[in-house]
Structure 1
Amino acid sequence: MSADLKFLVWSAVWCVLLFLPYVLARIQVWGIVDTVGYPENPPPLPAWAQRAQRAHLNMVENLTVFAVLVLVAHVSGAANATTALGATIFFWARIAQGLVHIAGLPWLRTAAFGVSLVGEAMILFQIIAKF
């Protein structure tokens, strides 16, 4: 399996893991019944748990674009050392983005997001160059 595809799989794993902090916070604050149900007026979650949910949703949104780029690069034969580096950059930047998002560090979160976009752009430019 190519490095691009490996980092796509690991990015999907990270996306799944990112939902755990806020779900565990819900269980702790709301209890299991309200967590799996539809409470009318649940107590607010701690700020870090709210940020964790937003970090997860942001990863879901960005994973879609990343997956399309990696898969198109793979299928079109555009995958190479540059796309592998782009996938590597995306993955580690998304790890950083999720962690600093939960920690509440907006400038670092934004920087990590920007770095992940650079990784995606590296893949995109290789696809464009192939055509």
Structure 2
Amino acid sequence: MTPELTYLAYSVVLLIAHVLVQATFSDLSKGIGWALGPRDEDREQNPLAERLQKALRNYLETYVAFVALALAVTVADAGNETTALGAAVWFWARVVYIPVYVSGVPLIRSVVFFVSLSGLGLMLIQLL
């Protein structure tokens, strides 16, 4: 399996873990009775759960591009050290992004986000 597809598989694991953690913190912050009930009324969640939700939304915003690039690089047989590095940079930056965002560190969060975008750029350059 190519490095890009390996990181694509890892990214699915990260997505599942992120969804489970975010949903758990969100439900716990709203109350277990509410979480197990019909959820007819909206409830506020605590700041930690809110940050996890925003981090997940941010992950999904770049995830589609990563999936498309990983598949395009593989199908086009355009994979090389640069695309493998791009996939690794995107993935590991996304792993780092979650705790950085949740901790509320503003500047580092933005830097990590742009590092993840640079990983996508490394992959894209090889396809153009």
| TM-score normalised by length of structure 2 | 0.90
The number of equivalent residue pairs is 127
- What are the ranges of 5 or more consecutive residues in structure 2 without an aligned counterpart? none
One-letter code of the match for 2:112?
A
Match of 2:115 in 1: 115
Report the alpha carbon displacement of residue 27 of structure 1 after superposing the two structures with TM.
2.9
User: In terms of mean alpha carbon deviation, does 30-39 or 44-53 score higher?
Assistant: 30-39
Aligned sequence identity (%) = 33
User: What do you get for the CA RMSD once the two structures are aligned?
Assistant: 1.5
| TM-score normalised by length of structure 1 | 0.88
- CA contact under 8 A between 2:28 and 2:35: conserved in structure 1? no
Where does structure 1 differ by over 3 angstroms across 4 or more consecutive aligned residues? none
The superposition leaves residues 96-122 of structure 1 with CA deviations (integer Å, 9 ceiling, x where unpaired) of 111111111121111011001110000
Report the alpha carbon displacement of residue 41 of structure 1 after superposing the two structures with TM.
4.0
Does 1:40 pair with 2:41? yes
One-letter code of the match for 1:97?
Y
- What are the ranges of 5 or more consecutive residues in structure 1 without an aligned counterpart? none
CA distance in 2, matches of 1:101, 1:78: 33
Report the alpha carbon displacement of residue 39 of structure 1 after superposing the two structures with TM.
3.4
